[in-house]
Structure 1
Amino acid sequence: MNGHHYAIEYGPSAVDDLDRLPVRERAQILRKIERLRHGLQGDLKRLHQADAMYRLRLGDYRVLFDVTGAVIVIRRVGNRKDVYD
């Protein structure tokens, strides 16, 4: 999948999650999400039996997302303790 260019969309839960984050963490997470446009890279893991297909790890935070064709849909963003609930 690397080498592809992706569009990024945010689901309603992800938007709410991002709004609740401290400004500094939100900015760092958004920069990492933007890098996904240029290919699936970083500390990624394919998830099994979860609401999202992939997990991006960013310190104590996780970004859960799906990939459909050339579109990445961000589903959830949050602390690793809470994001899978």
Structure 2
Amino acid sequence: MKTIVYTDIAVRQLGALPDEAQERVTEGIERYAVSGHGDVKALSGRSGYRLRIGSYRVIFDEDQATILAIYIGKRETTTYRRN
């Protein structure tokens, strides 16, 4: 299992989501950290990855032992331009 680290911004964004969405996103990130399974794609034009959890996206970077969650939010046209 990889260690999950959230940036300060990601913590605030996760806290601003509705309770049900917070639960789904947290479970999705944990599932990916444990098993490596999830709808993950490399970002084009920049480093990092995105994890799709329903209509929510987690923009993250990872190494052998750590997942760094950078952005958590609903999929919008600005989701990938923000960070």
TM-score, length basis structure 1: 0.84
Q: Is 2:67 the counterpart of 1:72?
A: yes
Aligned-partner Cα distance in 2 for 1:83–1:39 = 26
Task: Give the 5 Å matches for 1:1-85.
Answer: 5-50=1-46, 53-81=48-76, 82-84=78-80, 85=82
Structure-1 separation of matches of 2:36 and 2:59: 13
Total equivalences in the alignment: 80
Query: Per the alignment, in what secondary structure is the counterpart of residue 38 of structure 2?
Result: coil
> Identity of paired residues, percent?
36
The C-alpha deviation readout for 1:19-60, integer Å capped at 9, x for no partner, is 11001110111011111222322111011224x511011121
Q: Which runs of 4+ in 1 moved over 6 A?
A: none
Maintained 8 Å contact 1:6/1:39 = no
Q: How far has the Cα of 1:68 moved from its partner? A: 2.1
- Give, in whole Å, the separation in 2 of the partners of 1:39 and 1:45: 16
